[in-house]
Structure 1
């Protein structure tokens, strides 16, 4: 993966994590509010129920023998005092009983005695008897604690699930953006690589034409060079159009019979000036019976141009292009006598940004896009590209394409 793609992937992962964290925080805030509301309702309901139960016990109390479960009664009157057996230590509230006996208003208070909590109501009846009811709140508090613990556990689980779901949904939401960015980056890289070769050839032709004009060249030779420049300029437009079609995921590429012999001849003719600059001899198929394959002539020319340009830049003396037919497939072999391909990188040779050649003789850095583009073009035509075993120095690469119906054979090799 390229450095740009890696950085982009890191940014997308961070964005997905931020979305997940934001979703988790939002869910946690909602859960906290819901839990607080639920606890408030439960606690208020428990307090209301406890107050009602205790008030009914105090109001109807005529003795201390049969109070409701969890309630103890204390009665003080002219006839004496009585207490429900088992009243917890530290009770009753004598001060409240004294205030009620003196004519004070009824009191309802929460009181903690030791580790236990109680609700205490004290009131004076019409006959002057003071009644104090004591309700044990331990069961209510235990239920409340269980509720809070359950809600806390559910909230933590919901928070984690929300974070994971948010990150997953964020990743899915950002995937189209990632694909668009990758397509944009890929188009820029492809355009930069694909236009470099024809621009180099165009510059070489222009320089040769300038030299010939300065040297008083024959007008016919100068006209031929100028015609080549015009042809190379036109091919630049064709390459741009083909790249735009390749960058559009819904665009349909045209399929038409393409004569590989003509394509090879045109590519070798365009590569002639660059080969002459490197003192490299080009050899290719002679005009013969056409070898046709269905596809895009511009794309196939791009693929063969990439292989020939790659071979010329690394060859010592010679680059050859041969055509053949085998088992219904057209075979295009491009060979050179350069330093060859590193066997360790051969399995990844057709991946993007993997340079499989030895250091170029011109000292320029190679970005590893050319062979990847050749592989993609061949795959789009139902074929592929492979590295051939070659005895001796140099490298040999083969494009395999299914032939069109009626293909009559391969061109002869000179």
Structure 2
């Protein structure tokens, strides 16, 4: 099985690019927030400063000759005579505001826009009855604000670019050791699978030759029994070769698994047939779908699903006392495979970590062989890869019940 050259580097580069884009997105959110706060603070400060300047000029004005820069004054004495500062914009003063303040004595403030320019205007009546109206041009404030926004946008854009580059670079550096570890793991699986594939193929070929010779001989009851065992050996070696092929496929991150309609009842029967001799040696009975059980199909890989069911059945046989039962149910767009045994069950302390790797290693409860706690973890991974899950079911009686739940392909036929 081959893989495009430099696929590991390509995967790392794509992952690092995603990290860089995510860093840039996060930085952009922070920059936008900070820019909004900065602009709000500047605009508020400008408004307060303009209001304070205009109020001070109007309250202390005794003539209209020397107003503050960018401002004009309008004064109307008690006799009704009005004087204005030189250069007062066309359209001002606001005669209505002067009349209202002169009559009521209540100060007025307003913003007006004339000829595309915004002005701040304040009108009040002094103690001697003189009404003063101050007008402040806000163009300078707006220019300063626009300049600030432009600088923030420029700095923010540069910052986002630097954040994306830095995030990509740091992500690449952080992922390189992980990528090397994963590549080593995949190489080990691929090399081990490849090295085992050849002797398994030879074993299968040798078993087929023995079967042909037995078929060519005159048979008796003993020869028939031997022939059945050889047939089982051929089937087991074929299945082992398929498992190695599936492991090699799983070791390739760029390969896509086939999604075919798989009949779970047929898979379960094959698994129980393969597990029959080992279960018989221990006096364990195996019960599964009968010959007339309707087909239950799910989309997926038949080899991978067979590995999952095999792992559950093997686990149940190792813990059972007398009986292991495998049942399949379909309904509501879901398919469930239940594997039940009558053993001692699973203690509450082990249940939360039941599907973690190496969580249940140690010697088996009945066979004394070393077990590595990988079978149920692999079942969980296979179920997740098929859009399903594996779970421990509550059971009132003795023993344990494990379930693989998968999405159905919607076809149930006899």
User: What's the TM-score once normalised by structure 2's chain length?
Assistant: 0.50
SS in structure 1 of the partner of residue 397 of structure 2: coil
Kindly indicate whether the alpha-carbon contact (under 8 Å) linking 1:342 and 1:356 is maintained by their aligned counterparts in 2: no
Whether 1:303 aligns to 2:325 is no
Specify the alignment match of 2:373 in structure 1.
368
Kindly indicate whether the alpha-carbon contact (under 8 Å) linking 1:388 and 1:396 is maintained by their aligned counterparts in 2: yes
Specify the alignment match of 1:180 in structure 2.
183
Kindly indicate whether the alpha-carbon contact (under 8 Å) linking 2:345 and 2:399 is maintained by their aligned counterparts in 1: yes
Q: What CA distance in whole angstroms lies between the structure 2 residues aligned with 1:272 and 1:295?
A: 25
* CA positional deviation for 1:183: 3.3
SS in structure 2 of the partner of residue 299 of structure 1: helix
Specify the alignment match of 1:242 in structure 2.
246
Q: 1:224 aligns with which of 212, 228, 238?
A: 228
Kindly indicate whether the alpha-carbon contact (under 8 Å) linking 1:272 and 1:282 is maintained by their aligned counterparts in 2: yes
Q: What CA distance in whole angstroms lies between the structure 2 residues aligned with 1:183 and 1:167?
A: 24
* CA positional deviation for 1:340: 1.3
CA offset digits 1:161-195 (Å, max 9, x no partner): xxxxx998754432321221243466689999xxx
Change (3 A) 1:349 1:221: same
* CA positional deviation for 1:344: 1.3
Specify the alignment match of 2:343 in structure 1.
338
Whether 1:278 aligns to 2:253 is no
Q: What CA distance in whole angstroms lies between the structure 2 residues aligned with 1:256 and 1:294?
A: 5
* CA positional deviation for 1:358: 8.7
Change (3 A) 1:243 1:267: same
Q: 2:237 aligns with which of 204, 212, 233?
A: 233
Kindly indicate whether the alpha-carbon contact (under 8 Å) linking 2:279 and 2:286 is maintained by their aligned counterparts in 1: yes
* CA positional deviation for 1:346: 1.3
Q: What CA distance in whole angstroms lies between the structure 1 residues aligned with 2:190 and 2:401?
A: 28
Greater radius of gyration (CA): 1
Change (3 A) 1:293 1:169: closer
CA offset digits 1:269-320 (Å, max 9, x no partner): 1110000011100001112221111111111111101110111111111000
User: What's the TM-score once normalised by structure 1's chain length?
Assistant: 0.50
Q: What CA distance in whole angstroms lies between the structure 1 residues aligned with 2:251 and 2:222?
A: 44
Q: What CA distance in whole angstroms lies between the structure 2 residues aligned with 1:359 and 1:242?
A: 27
- TM alignment of 1:80-95, pairs within 5 A: none
Specify the alignment match of 1:262 in structure 2.
266
Structure 1 unmatched runs, 5+: 1-165, 193-215, 410-414
Specify the alignment match of 1:323 in structure 2.
328
Kindly indicate whether the alpha-carbon contact (under 8 Å) linking 2:295 and 2:413 is maintained by their aligned counterparts in 1: yes
Aligned residues: 238
Structure 2 unmatched runs, 5+: 1-168, 196-219
SS in structure 1 of the partner of residue 412 of structure 2: coil
SS in structure 2 of the partner of residue 240 of structure 1: helix
SS in structure 2 of the partner of residue 343 of structure 1: coil
Q: What CA distance in whole angstroms lies between the structure 1 residues aligned with 2:347 and 2:194?
A: 27
Q: What CA distance in whole angstroms lies between the structure 1 residues aligned with 2:190 and 2:316?
A: 24
Kindly indicate whether the alpha-carbon contact (under 8 Å) linking 2:318 and 2:364 is maintained by their aligned counterparts in 1: no
Change (3 A) 1:341 1:333: same
CA offset digits 1:88-117 (Å, max 9, x no partner): xxxxxxxxxxxxxxxxxxxxxxxxxxxxxx
Q: What CA distance in whole angstroms lies between the structure 2 residues aligned with 1:219 and 1:257?
A: 38
**What is the Cα-based RMSD across aligned positions, in Å?**
4.2
Kindly indicate whether the alpha-carbon contact (under 8 Å) linking 1:294 and 1:404 is maintained by their aligned counterparts in 2: yes
Q: What CA distance in whole angstroms lies between the structure 2 residues aligned with 1:233 and 1:314?
A: 25
Kindly indicate whether the alpha-carbon contact (under 8 Å) linking 2:265 and 2:328 is maintained by their aligned counterparts in 1: yes
Change (3 A) 1:168 1:265: closer
Kindly indicate whether the alpha-carbon contact (under 8 Å) linking 1:312 and 1:336 is maintained by their aligned counterparts in 2: yes
Q: What CA distance in whole angstroms lies between the structure 2 residues aligned with 1:187 and 1:392?
A: 43
Q: 1:380 aligns with which of 382, 385, 388?
A: 385
Q: 1:399 aligns with which of 383, 395, 404?
A: 404
Moved more, 216-225 or 387-396: 216-225
Whether 1:351 aligns to 2:351 is no
